[in-house]
Amino acid sequence: MFQEKLKILWNKKVGPGYYRIGINCHSGYSRTKPGQFVMLRLSRQIDPLLSRPFSIHRLILLKDHARGFEILYKVVGKFTKKLATLKKNEFIDTLGPLGNGFSIPGNIQNIFMVAGGIGVAPMVFLASYLKNTGVDISRCRMFLGGRSKDDILCLDYFDQLKMVVQLTTDDGSAGDKCMVTQPLEMALAESPPEMIYACGPQEMLKTVVVLAQKFAINCQVSVEAMMACGLGACLGCAVETQGASGKYLHACLDGPVFDAFAIKL
Ligand SMILES: Cc1cc2nc3c(=O)[nH]c(=O)nc-3n(C[C@H](O)[C@H](O)[C@H](O)COP(=O)(O)OP(=O)(O)OC[C@H]3O[C@@H](n4cnc5c(N)ncnc54)[C@H](O)[C@@H]3O)c2cc1C
Ligand code: FES
């Protein structure tokens, strides 16, 4: 884990309210796993003072060594509004890579990935990582949902990988007009996978977990908890475990990716 100021390589608008920021880094990031995140802080700013968590969207590699990483982000409030104004060659405070990413059991080939809205950000990294570890990614299915067509991101990337993509939007402006969990349920009934990986809004994750339970499929979810430190120090990111013990885990240290059946969403 590294705490440092890193140079911005680019910061481009990729859709209404969505940006991709490329950040220069060193080879210490080479072993980053999909699902891991970085805490970003605006250098020399006291408002907002606290850093914010963002998933690694993509590693920029040169001869297998990380030279940079990219973050896909949605402008939602004070921090992300200011983030969108940063320019190439400016610096940003970073702490990362942090947390536990998706774990990939050996020999799995049949995988469903489910992403809602900006939850697609770590899925691009996950898909390329799976491909590099020998998974036939064209046999894996991507269930991609958003509020409208403007919230459907990275489709071209999954198409390039020849993944079977099932698109849904709440308003029907792209793909089927329904929740992303609807085609997921049908596909689970037809040809259940060995694993479901999911990232998105809490309500979507809850339904994915219910379906995973119904069809007895292993499932890992990346949860969005409030994070102030990213290091297990502020207790802001508590996630309750299943069972009567009332035990809590830290989303920043033990997650943000969890076995779906181990936690209460
Ligand atoms: C592990 C993890 C990975 C994430 N990855 C991405 C990503 O790849 N792309 C992306 O656009 N967003 C990501 N987020 C969410 C991102 O952190 C928030 O959108 C961002 O912090 C909003 O800050 P803001 O000041 O612009 O908005 P605010 O006005 O402060 O908040 C808007 C909303 O953002 C969320 N949020 C605010 N502060 C935090 C915080 N400290 N920790 C977590 N959530 C917060 C809350 O839901 C809040 O209601 C991730 C969150 C987590 C926990
Ligand atoms: S973010 Fe501070 S303990 Fe997890």
* Domain-located, residue 225: yes
- pLDDT tens sequence across 97-143: 999 999 999 889 999 999 999 999 999 999 999 999 999 999 999 99
**Do residue 138 and residue 242 come from a single domain?**
yes
Residue 224 confidence (pLDDT): 92
Residue-level pLDDT at 60: 96
Q: What's residue 44's pLDDT?
A: 81
Looking up residue 180, the CATH number of its domain turns out to be 3.40.50.80
Instruction: Tell me how far the alpha carbon of residue 53 lies from the centroid of ligand 1, in angstroms.
Output: 6
Give, in order, the Cα–Cα distances in Å from 59 to each of 159, 190, 256.
Answer: 19, 34, 18
Strands 195-199 and 218-222: parallel
On whether both 65 and 158 belong to a single domain, the answer is no
**What pLDDT score was predicted for residue 258?**
98
Which of ligand 1's atoms lies nearest the C-alpha of 83?
Answer: 26
* Rounded percentage of the chain residues whose pLDDT exceeds 90: 93
Sheet holding 58-62, edge to edge: 52-55, 37-41, 91-98, 2-15, 18-24, 65-74, 58-62
209 and 246, same structural domain? yes
1, 250, 254, 258: which to mutate for ligand 2, most atoms within 8 A of CB?
A: 250
Look at residue 69 in the predicted model and tell me its pLDDT.
Answer: 98
Cβ-based burial of 10 (10 A; exposed 0-12, middle 13-18, buried ≥19): middle
Give the pLDDT of residue 262: 95
Q: Does any domain span residue 104?
A: no
Q: 45 and 117: one domain?
A: no
**Domain of 18: which CATH number?**
2.40.30.10
Q: Which of 70, 98, 126 is the last residue of a domain?
A: 98
Whether residues 14 and 87 fall in one domain: yes
Contacts 24+ apart (CB under 8 A), 41-45: 41/92, 41/93, 41/94, 41/95, 42/79, 42/82, 42/83, 42/86, 42/92, 42/93, 43/5, 43/91, 43/92, 43/93, 45/82
* Same domain membership, residue 155 and residue 198: yes
Least distant ligand from the CA of 73: 1
**Separation in Å, CA 178 to CA 119, 144, 166, 167, 186:** 17, 11, 11, 9, 13
Nearest to 36 by CA among 113, 126, 110, 114: 126
For 149, residues 6+ apart whose C-beta sits below 8 A from its C-beta are 169, 173, 174
Strand 141-146 to strand 111-116: parallel, antiparallel, or no bridges (unpaired)? parallel
127 and 216 in a single domain? The answer is yes
Phi, psi of 123 (to 5 degrees): -70, -30
Which residues are near ligand 1 (CB < 6 Å)?
37, 48, 52-55, 71-74, 76-80, 118, 121, 224-228, 256
Write the pLDDT tens digit of every residue in 168-202.
999 999 999 999 999 999 999 999 999 999 999 99
39-91 pLDDT tens trace: 999 988 778 889 999 999 999 999 889 999 999 999 999 999 999 999 999 99
Residues 148 and 60 in one domain: no
Mean pLDDT of 254-261: 97
Question: Does residue 139 share a domain with residue 28?
Answer: no
Judgement on whether residues 55 and 130 belong to the same structural domain of the protein: no
- Tell me which ligand sits closest to the C-alpha of residue 231: 2
**Is 150 contained in some domain?**
yes
pLDDT for position 107: 87
Q: Is the CB of residue 230 below 6 angstroms from any atom belonging to ligand 2? A: yes
Whole-number pLDDT of residue 244 = 74
Q: Are residues 74 and 117 in the same domain?
A: no
**Residue 264 in domain:** no
pLDDT of residue 123: 98
Q: Is residue 106 part of a domain?
A: no
Question: What does pLDDT average to over the chain?
Answer: 96
Mean pLDDT value of segment 221-242: 94
Per the structure, the count of domains in the chain is 2
Whether residues 17 and 132 share a domain: the answer is: no
Identify which of 232, 264, 233 has the alpha carbon closest to the alpha carbon of residue 250.
232
Q: Is 265 part of any domain?
A: no
Range of the domain at 174: 111-259
